[in-house]
Structure formats: C-alpha cells, structure tokens
C-alpha cells in the first residue's frame, strides 16, 4: 500500500506492508535507489509480524523534489524521516538504513533517540567515523565520486542525462560496483529524468551546505552495523571506527562475498540479522 507524508517541499511516497498492529520498521534507501530496493527483505519482516514503512525519500519522490542543494541538508533529510515515523509509525520505530539511508539513520538515532527503538545501519558508518577515515585511511581514494558530485552541472553533463546514452552509461557504472544488470538498469531508468538525477546528486551536495559544528552524541539505542567485504565505496577501515560512536548495545556483522548492494544481493542473510536484532530489542 502506498500512502503519503507531507513535508515542507511536498509529499513523500511511503510504501507500507505487513499487519497494521505490527511493530513498525522504517526502511531508508540510499543512492541511487528507491523504496523498492527493500522488496526482497520486506516479506521476511512482515512474515515475522512486523509492519514495514519504506519511503521514497526527498528527491526520489516526484512530489517532493525541491530545487537547489540547500534543500538537501542532512538535518532536512532527518526531519523527513521523523515526519514519516510520526505519520505512519506512531512516533517510534525500528530504523534500518542503507547507504545514504544509513547516514540519515545514524543521525536520527543520535539526535532523536525517542523516535528510534533500534538502529540497523548498512554499509555506511556514522558521519564522524566516515570523515575521520577520509584522513586516516584509504577511504579518501574510494570516495573520489563524493568530490566529483560537488561540481554544479558537470556530473549531469558527463552522465548526459538528457541524451539516450544516460541509462547505458549509468547502468554500466553501477554494474562495476557489483549491482546486477537488471537492477542497475532499473536504477538508471529511475534517474534518467534530469530533475531526478540532480535531486539525487544534491544529497551529496547538500551535506556541505550547512556542515554541522556540533558532533552527534553517541547512539544510545541498540545498534546493528552491517558491512560487506565486496563494497567498493566503503572500506573496512572506516567501519572499524563505528563502534566509537555507540554507547548502547552494539553488534557488527560482516557479509562475505557481497557487494555494496546488501538488501538486494543478500536479502536472506540480511533479514536473518535484522530479525535477530529486532527480537533481541523489541523496544
């Protein structure tokens, strides 16, 4: 079932599944995907009695695609997640995030623990751990695209979003990171609209518009951090710093032979980890 949540720039599309009285699980996708990246995980969660709430986040929902990088600050993205929790999860939910969704989830749990029963972050560590790894490990080399995306209009021009070559070029880039052909083509089509592509890139640009001078407090809620050793974007060294930013119960799990795209490449293994985590800490 698709419902909507009102935020400042418009309406987010929110996809719900599972029993109405089930404990809510908020699923936050990353770049360049949508809520459908969770499709292979949702049945395991709903089958266990949970209710899943998966928004197409700001910029990915056609009805909430504001112009300009200033509309995509991390705090704005966290406010969207809070709005979804308040509207569709009774004010408190288990939170699961992958890629950029993990970035949002870490800050949400750190600054709004009253909204979060448990946290499960996939692939990406807390922002402070990531930033530190840029100057202390080879993570800087793996993050070259982050700097490239900061340049106005150039990434769009290189990707040729208005031309017929876009889908093929972008799909090929995703496949080099381990994405399957079918899913890479799906995600490339999603961003073939120039407005959609710019909105997605603005997640990278917006984080530097209003960088926070206040370090997030440690996460106090029970936390599961999942990383995969086939990830070409996030290095093992940056994941090793994550535990420093959690003061509550913490578990690290590593998936072997799996690329960055954990929810779709290893849904059974991920679902098993999530179900153990949620059952251990019902909140």
Q: Is residue 204 flagged as an active site residue?
A: yes
Asked whether the bond before 32 is cis by omega within 30 degrees of 0, the reply is yes
Beta strands in the chain (DSSP E): 2-7, 10-17, 24-28, 51-56, 93-98, 116-122, 223-230, 250-259
Question: At which residue do the structure tokens 């990171």 appear?
Answer: 177
13, 204, 231, 245: which one is catalytic? 204
Question: Please, are residues 107 and 216 in contact by the beta-carbon 8 Å criterion?
Answer: yes
In sequence order, which residues have a C-beta less than 8 Å from that of residue 181 and are 6 or more positions away? 171, 175
Q: For the packed helices 74-88 and 194-206, what is the interaxial angle rounded to 10 degrees?
A: 110
CA 58/CA 47 separation, integer angstroms: 28
Given the residues 13, 99, 187, 231, the one annotated as active site = 99
CA distance 154 to 85: 36
Radius of gyration for the chain, computed over Cα atoms and rounded to the nearest angstrom: 17
Q: Is 72 a catalytic residue?
A: no
Distance, in Å, from the CA atom of 100 to the CA atom of 191, rounded to the nearest integer, reads 16
Catalytic residue of the set 29, 98, 260, 277: 260
Which residue from 217, 4, 26 is spatially nearest to 110, judged by alpha carbons? 217
* Cβ-based burial of 147 (10 A; exposed 0-12, middle 13-18, buried ≥19): exposed
Q: 278 in helix, strand or coil?
A: helix
What amino acid positions are annotated as catalytic residues?
Answer: 99, 204, 260
């Amino acid at each position: 079932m698709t419902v909507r949540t009102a935020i400042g720039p418009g309406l987010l599309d929110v996809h719900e599944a599972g029993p109405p009285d089930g404990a809510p699980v908020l699923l936050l996708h990353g770049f360049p995907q949508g809520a459908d990246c969770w499709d292979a995980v949702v049945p395991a969660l709903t089958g266990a009695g949970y209710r899943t709430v998966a928004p197409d986040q700001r910029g990915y929902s056609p009805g909430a695609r504001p112009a300009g990088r200033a509309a995509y600050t991390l705090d704005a993205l966290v406010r969207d997640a809070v709005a979804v929790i308040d509207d569709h999860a009774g004010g408190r939910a288990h939170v699961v995030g992958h890629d950029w969704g993990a970035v949002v989830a870490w800050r949400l749990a750190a600054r709004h623990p009253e909204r979060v029963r448990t946290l499960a972050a996939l692939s990406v560590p807390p922002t402070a751990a990531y930033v530190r790894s840029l100057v202390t490990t080879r993570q800087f080399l793996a993050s070259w695209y982050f700097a490239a995306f900061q340049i106005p209009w150039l990434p769009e021009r290189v990707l040729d979003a208005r031309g017929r070559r876009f889908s093929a070029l972008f799909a090929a880039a995703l496949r080099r990171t381990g994405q399957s052909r079918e899913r890479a083509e799906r995600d490339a089509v999603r961003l073939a609209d120039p407005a959609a592509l710019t909105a997605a890139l603005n997640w990278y640009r917006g984080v530097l518009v209003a960088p926070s001078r206040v370090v997030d407090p440690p996460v106090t809620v029970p936390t599961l951090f999942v990383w995969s050793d086939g990830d070409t974007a996030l290095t093992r060294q940056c994941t090793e710093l994550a535990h420093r930013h959690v003061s509550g119960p913490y578990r690290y799990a590593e998936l072997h032979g799996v690329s960055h795209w954990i929810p779709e490449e290893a849904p059974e293994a991920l679902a098993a980890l999530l179900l153990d985590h949620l059952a251990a800490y019902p909140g």
